[in-house]
Structure 1
Amino acid sequence: MSLTNTPLDVLIEISRELDLSDSIHLISTCSTFTPILLSRYFWISALDRVEHVHRRPLPCSPGLDITSLPLDALKKMVIHA
């Protein structure tokens, strides 16, 4: 089985084990991975890693419910974190 034939949920879990910038680079390499870039779960998980693994504050107001943000806002927060 090639990486491009791997189920989306498995790819997301693999990307969660990588460094954040590495996971973004990985999923940006192939159009097959575009659904991951469009996955709110991926970006919300990335923000969770920024906050809890990398111990960096999120670039937003404390207490903001990030799960209600539009996809573009989530992406920008990850990139600027």
Structure 2
Amino acid sequence: MWIRTQDKKELVKVIRVYTSRIFGEKKGKHILWGQFAGTNLFGENKATLGIYPTEELLMEELALIESALKENPDGFYEMR
């Protein structure tokens, strides 16, 4: 599936979408990552798909991505 990032600057053909919490200057925010190739010695091959102020908003977005994948696994999704 192709996903356009929240900042609208990238189109990423993802093979995996996963979440993590941000620590540091953006403390308390949650991030959705899109992995576009397998992890290797030189990098994790991931892109930031979106950043959310709460885990609830992040989980809502993840549910929307899941629905889009069920409808069309080779389709397109634009982050909100």
- TM-score, reference length from structure 1: 0.29
TM-score, scaled to structure 2 = 0.30
Greater share of strand residues, 1 or 2? 2
Normalized per residue, the structure richer in helix is: 1
